[in-house]
Amino acid sequence: MIYLGIGSNLPSEAFGSLVMNCRAAIERLAQAGLAATVQSPYYETAPVPVSDQPWYVNCVIGVADTRLSPQDAMKACLAVEAGLGRVRSVPNAARIADIDLIAWHDRMIDEAPALIVPHPRMAGRAFVLRPLADIAPDWRHPVTGAAIADLLAQLPPDQQIRPLKGS
């Protein structure tokens, strides 16, 4: 399974709410050849690193199959972000759309800086691990072999995450 993290912390004129931004991203990813076969619930998450930015809405989708290469999938993610109005200004800036390629089956890909899979910071992020655990409770990190439950237990306590009501 291929896993993608989807997030938003800025509403958009085109789609409105953060959830609608995420839904638009998921639709456009499907049109690009990355159709979700499974999706986690939505979560509200504090920004990482901690800042005064608005909270995010995040989810993780699983894609069972695609004709895209990992490199083309990454290009599609960046194109969808840009098409939804993401402007890359400074690292970790607030954004309408954020799409991360979390894992590509059990492969390890290091084509830094353009593509590193599994995502190099995923193991320390509740906004990735909690929704991923919902759809892949037996998932193991391809590099470390750590179970997702163990990764969740090792998260720093300052990462706030809560289920989004009504999602």
Domain holding 95, by residue range, is 2-163
SS3 37: coil
pLDDT at 126: 96
- For residue 127, give the nearest of 54, 47, 19 by alpha carbon: 47
Per residue in 7-28, pLDDT (tens digit) is 999 999 999 899 999 999 999 9
pLDDT at 108: 96
DSSP 73-124: HHHHHHHHHHHTT----STT---S-EEEEEEETT--EEETTTEEES-TTGGG
* Contact partners, residue 9, CB within 8 Å, separation at least 6: 18, 47, 53, 54, 55, 56, 57, 94, 95
Confidence of residue 162 (pLDDT cuts 50, 70, 90): very high
Check pLDDT > 90 for residue 138: yes
* Contact partners, residue 165, CB within 8 Å, separation at least 6: none
Phi/psi zone of residue 129: left (φ > 0), alpha (ψ -120 to 50 degrees), beta?
alpha
Whole-number Cα distances in Å, 15 to 18, 57, 84, 96: 8, 14, 9, 10
Q: Hey, how many other C-beta atoms are within 10 angstroms of the C-beta on 140? A: 14
What radius of gyration, in Å, describes the C-alpha atoms of the chain?
15
Q: How many domains does the chain have?
A: 1
CATH number at residue 155: 3.30.70.560
Q: What's at 50, amino acid-wise? A: V
Model-level pTM? 0.95
Check pLDDT > 90 for residue 51: no
